[in-house]
Structure 1
Amino acid sequence: MSKKYEELTIHQKLESLIHDMVEKEIHLKEALAEFEKIYIETAASKYRANKSKMAQALGVHRNTLHNRFKALKIRKRK
């Protein structure tokens, strides 16, 4: 019997997602960039785009976060 999605560990959820991505032959570089972009966008939503709070929560320097916004072409949401 399989667990409900909510009951799976983060590792199990990622493993399932990664399996699907490998099956679809999504390149690692593309997968990592998409993961990072969604991760940062989700944090931006949670912290209302307050980069200082986001950086602290994500464990990166504020300047690094700013650079990732630019590199991943993440725009501020209004």
Structure 2
Amino acid sequence: MNNKIEGLAQQLLSGNIFLEQAIELLERSMIKGALEIAAGNQSEASKRLGIHRNTLQKKLIAYGLSDTRVRKKPAARQGRPRRRRVGAA
């Protein structure tokens, strides 16, 4: 694996890619891969990456990978408003 990484580093250097860009490429690729393995579950993906879930969410936004889908209500609640607790302040 070290040989692969060293070879990749040489390719990046010869292509005039700076360290910061290389790190972003690697991070982006690892984040995408972790999310695919975790079937989109950010908590599981963050554990695989060894980072906090909030850090993953910040990186998703920074790299333009954040999912902007609107969450749908569960089928049982479709069309019904939430029930409010009586006596809650």
| TM-score category, normalised to shorter length | 0.7 to 0.9
Partner of 1:65: 56
Summarize deviations over 1:9-66 as a string: whole Å, max 9, x none: x211110011011011111111111110011001111111100111111111111111
Question: Quick check: 67-76 or 51-60, which moved more?
Answer: 67-76
Root-mean-square deviation over aligned CA pairs: 1.5
The higher relative CO (CA closer than 8 Å, separation ≥ 6) is in: 1
Partner of 2:73: none
Partner of 1:21: 12
Contact 2:57-2:66 at 8 Å conserved across structures: no
Distance 1:75 1:66 in 2: 7
Q: State the identity %.
A: 28
- The answer to whether residue 30 in structure 2 is matched with residue 47 in structure 1 is no
Q: Which has the larger radius of gyration?
A: 2
Structure 2 segments unaligned to the other structure (5+ residues): 68-89
User: What SS class does the counterpart of residue 49 from structure 1 fall into?
Assistant: coil
Aligned residues: 68
The normalised TM-score by structure 1 is 0.79
